[in-house]
Amino acid sequence: MSKATEITFTTVRNTGYGSAHYGACEICGQSTSVIYCAELQRVYLRDNEEKYLSPAAAGTYGDMHCLLKRHGTLRRDEDFERVAGTKRVTAQQFEELAKSAMMKARKA
């Protein structure tokens, strides 16, 4: 069993393809040589204390400039280790994510 935490943030990954494959940037409509995918992620907690990510919304495909403008802070998707098809969150990453989620809540 696992439960959703309140912690969400946005990751970004290089799709490895440009607009020839994915089409134009979803935000500005321009063609670009590299399309990135930004995804809102939520942290989940398993009974055995393992933490992992699962997308909380459909991804946005676009150039880095537009994605940064829309989402502000983006974390590198590849910084989260893949284990059996899920993206693991280490204890250290979890601590850092929880801290920045708290600061965000305080600002709001």
- What is the binding site for Zn ion (CB under 5 A)? 25, 27-28, 62-63, 66
For residues 71 and 10, the answer to whether their CB atoms sit within 8 Å is: yes
State the minimum distance, in angstroms, from the CB of residue 69 to Zn ion: 8
Using the minimum distance from each CB to Zn ion, give the nearer residue, 63 or 77: 63
Considering the complex, state which of residue 52 and residue 61 has its C-beta at the smaller distance from Zn ion: 61
CA distances from 107 to 75, 89, 95, 98, 99 (A): 20, 25, 19, 14, 13
C-beta of 35 vs 43, nearer to Zn ion = 35
Query: Cβ closer to Zn ion: 27 or 98?
Result: 27
Classify 67 in phi/psi space as left (phi over 0), alpha (psi -120 to 50) or beta.
alpha
CB of 74 to Zn ion, least distance (A): 14
CB of residue 35 vs Zn ion: minimum separation in angstroms? 9
Paired with 58 in beta bridges are none
